[in-house]
Amino acid sequence: KAGVTQTPRYLIKTRGQQVTLSCSPISGHRSVSWYQQTPGQGLQFLFEYFSETQRNKGNFPGRFSGRQFSNSRSEMNVSTLELGDSALYLCASSLGTGYGNTEAFFGQGTRLTVV
Amino acid sequence: GESVGLHLPTLSVQEGDNSIINCAYSNSASDYFIWYKQESGKGPQFIIDIRSNMDKRQGQRVTVLLNKTVKHLSLQIAATQPGDSAVYFCAESPPGGSQGNLIFGKGTKLSVKP
């Protein structure tokens, strides 16, 4: 069974640009969550999608957005990049059908560097 | 490899010893807790979980203890091996959550000396 796949693995962008990151969940998983990981702030929740709908959202500015497609694949977008957006962006997938369906599997992440 | 934290608490243990990693969680109403292991260059990997109606759960070489009175979690690793060297995170799921929205602790770096 293939794991969670994130593309690209590494990305360098310039301030002001926008970026789109992709996540393919484990087959059969309907929930995809995104997290930002930085040395200073640790792992912070960005948003969760389930069946193409945003189910939860973290405390990030509107420059951060996402979506989920009918095949459960998800993308996140960051517009008007700032230096502080440099981070490891992690995607996690789970069955997502609530209490009892627990384990979230993480991808290897996309390392975004903003210069 | 990638650094996941520049100022993480570090626990250094000798190979074969037991390790105990502690975590304070934030929401007294959280009902589900997970420990993750993150190796350099990789995403977090599930180790063990526990629900709020339990105070102890055991896995293979690992035990998680939950003390709801003081909002404290611990991860015990028996007979620690060099392959256990990694950063360990606790995570909590807020009440009513879907487990897709996790609040992570800052992490502890475990270093195992051969």
Q: For the segment A65-107, what is each residue's pLDDT rounded down to a tens digit?
A: 999 999 999 999 999 999 999 999 999 998 876 555 567 899 9
**Tens digit of each residue's pLDDT (9 = 90 or more) over B14-38:** 999 999 999 999 889 998 899 999 9
Q: Which of A37, A42, A96 sits opposite B98 (nearest CB)?
A: A96
Spell out the alpha helix ranges (H) of A3-98: none
Q: Is B49 in Cβ contact with A103 (below 8 Å)? A: yes
Q: What is the mean pLDDT of residues B39-61?
A: 94
Note whether B98 contacts A: Cβ–Cβ < 8 A: yes
What's the pLDDT score for residue A2?
Answer: 77
Q: Is B89 in Cβ contact with A98 (below 8 Å)? A: no
Q: Is B106 in Cβ contact with A109 (below 8 Å)? A: no
Closest-approach residue (CA) in chain B for A57: B101
Say if CB A4 and CB A12 are below 8 A apart.
Answer: no
Q: Is B103 in Cβ contact with A39 (below 8 Å)? A: no
Taking phi over 0 as left and psi of -120 to 50 as alpha, with beta for the rest, A98 belongs to: left
Q: Is B46 in Cβ contact with A104 (below 8 Å)? A: yes
**B17: Cα within 13 Å, side-chain hemisphere:** 13
**Tens digit of each residue's pLDDT (9 = 90 or more) over A9-59:** 999 999 999 999 999 999 999 999 999 999 888 999 999 999 999 988 999
Q: Is B104 in Cβ contact with A44 (below 8 Å)? A: yes
| CB < 8 Å to A34, chain B | none
Residue B89: partners with Cβ closer than 8 Å, 6 or more residues away: A42, A43, B35, B36, B37, B38, B44, B104, B105, B106, B107
Give the amino acid at B10: T
What's the pLDDT score for residue B2?
Answer: 39
CA distance B39 to chain A (A): 10
In A, what residues contact B, Cβ < 8 A?
Answer: 4, 31-33, 35, 37, 39-40, 42-45, 48, 50, 55-56, 58, 88, 90, 92, 94, 96, 98-99, 101-109, 111
**Both tokens of residue A44?**
């912070």
Q: How far apart are CA B59 and CA B38, in angstroms?
A: 18
